[in-house]
């Protein structure tokens, strides 16, 4: 539901639509790439929440899906491979009034950034992490990723993948994430609803999205998911039961579940547990407590 925000002079502003979150650059993704649906859903979700571009920061690492901030009208940071959660944590701690949304892929997030994935979850940083999981490294033209199935043949595994995949859903739950969901990019309405819930959640929210790479992963395309994806909402799943959530998340056969697996509604995020951050508003809005000369020296050393 779109809302309006009061502005100076008590004039209500005009509600934004999904189109208002369209960036100045059009995506260069391959035609049919699942990431188009994810971009569409996030634009819809931000409009539904009544957010404004200046209230949102998108942070990404490296990969096809990590080009996301460039296609979205908001603040954006395109950072280092696997390091987006570390940058996002810093940004959120400096200004916890910002809605910080992290976007990236399975290789970036669960492989190269696996360490940060674990520790951001256990810290329960109030971030929304949207992972476009296509079970392959797409930008580097098709090598196995941490979520590729065993036996999968790619450029890096011509005789078949001999490794087992990571399960992002059970990993996130075990490490302390307080909102864990999965979506399929072919169902934009369901994905939008989960994104909205993830952004509203106060704590670390993972939204893992099956977002097919139609160019390099022909094993897990739209036809694979369309035949198998089922919604947890249709099964009376109890999202406060972590054991039931893990059992559902480990099903990978004729039924593969999407929806909200797990949520801990009353958890305290890192910003709430840190007294320095919680007392006097965002650090970014406070007096620095240094002379301008000293501040310039400190910033100069860091540049």
Of Mg ion, ligand SF4, none, which one sits near residue 64, judging by CB under 5 to 8 A according to partner kind? ligand SF4
For 57, 118, 282, 299, the CA distances from 272, given in Å and listed in that order, are 20, 20, 12, 28
Shortest-Cβ-distance residue relative to Mg ion: 105
* DSSP SS3 for 142: coil
Residue 215, contacted partner among Mg ion, ligand SF4, none, CB below 5-8 A by kind = ligand SF4
- The answer to whether the Cα torsion of 132, 151, 173, 258 is positive or negative is positive
61 vs 105 by CB, closer to Mg ion: 105
Beta strands in 71-161 (DSSP E): 75-78, 99-105, 128-133
Contact 130/88 with Cβ under 8 angstroms? Answer: no
Q: Judged by CB under 5 A, which stretch of 4-12, 28-36, 130-138, 267-275 contacts Mg ion?
A: 130-138
The one among 43, 103, 128, 134 contacting Mg ion by CB under 5 A:
134
Which CB atom, from 174 or from 214, has the smaller least distance to ligand SF4? Answer: 214
By a kind-dependent CB cut-off of 5 to 8 A, residue 216 interacts, out of ligand SF4, Mg ion, none, with ligand SF4
DSSP codes joined into one string, 173-235: HHHT-SEEEEEETT-HHHHHHHHHHHHHSSS-EEEEEE---TTT--SSSHHHHHHHEEEGGGG
List contacts with ligand SF4 (CB under 6 A): 29-30, 33, 35, 64, 134, 138-139, 213-216
- d(Cα 188, Cα 193) in Å, to the nearest integer? 9
Q: How far is the CB of 213 from ligand SF4 (least distance, A)?
A: 3
Q: Which stretch binds Mg ion (CB under 5 A): 19-27, 66-74, 126-134, 152-160?
A: 126-134
106 binds, among ligand SF4, Mg ion, none (CB under 5 to 8 A by kind): Mg ion
Q: Helices then strands (H, E): number in the chain? A: 11, 8
- Return residues touching Mg ion (CB under 5 A): 105-107, 134, 145
């Amino acid at each position: 539901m779109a809302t309006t925000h009061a502005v100076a002079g008590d004039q209500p502003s005009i509600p934004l639509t999904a189109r208002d979150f369209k960036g100045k650059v059009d995506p260069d993704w391959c035609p049919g790439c699942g990431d188009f649906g994810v971009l569409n859903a996030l634009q819809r979700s931000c409009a539904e929440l009544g957010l404004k571009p200046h209230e949102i920061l998108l942070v990404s690492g490296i990969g096809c899906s990590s080009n996301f901030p460039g296609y979205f009208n908001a603040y954006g940071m395109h950072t280092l491979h696997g390091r987006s959660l570390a940058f996002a944590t810093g940004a959120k701690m400096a200004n916890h009034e910002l809605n910080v949304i992290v976007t990236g892929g399975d290789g970036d997030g669960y492989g190269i950034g696996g360490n940060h994935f674990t520790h951001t979850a256990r810290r329960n940083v109030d971030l929304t992490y949207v992972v476009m999981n296509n079970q392959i490294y797409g930008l580097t033209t098709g090598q196995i990723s941490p979520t590729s199935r065993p036996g999968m043949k790619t450029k890096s595994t011509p005789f078949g993948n001999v490794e087992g995949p990571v399960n992002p859903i059970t990993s996130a739950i075990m490490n302390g994430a307080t909102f864990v969901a999965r979506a399929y990019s072919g169902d934009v309405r369901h994905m939008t609803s989960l994104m909205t819930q993830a952004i509203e959640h106060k704590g670390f929210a993972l939204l893992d999205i099956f977002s097919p790479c139609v160019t390099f992963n022909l094993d897990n395309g739209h036809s694979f998911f369309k035949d198998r994806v089922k919604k947890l909402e249709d099964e009376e799943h109890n999202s406060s039961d972590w054991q039931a959530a893990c059992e559902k998340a480990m099903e990978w056969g004729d039924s593969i579940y999407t929806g909200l697996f797990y949520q801990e509604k009353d958890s305290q995020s890192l910003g709430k547990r840190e007294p320095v951050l919680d007392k006097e508003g965002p650090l970014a809005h406070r007096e620095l407590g240094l002379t301008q000369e000293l501040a310039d020296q400190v910033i100069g050393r860091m540049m």
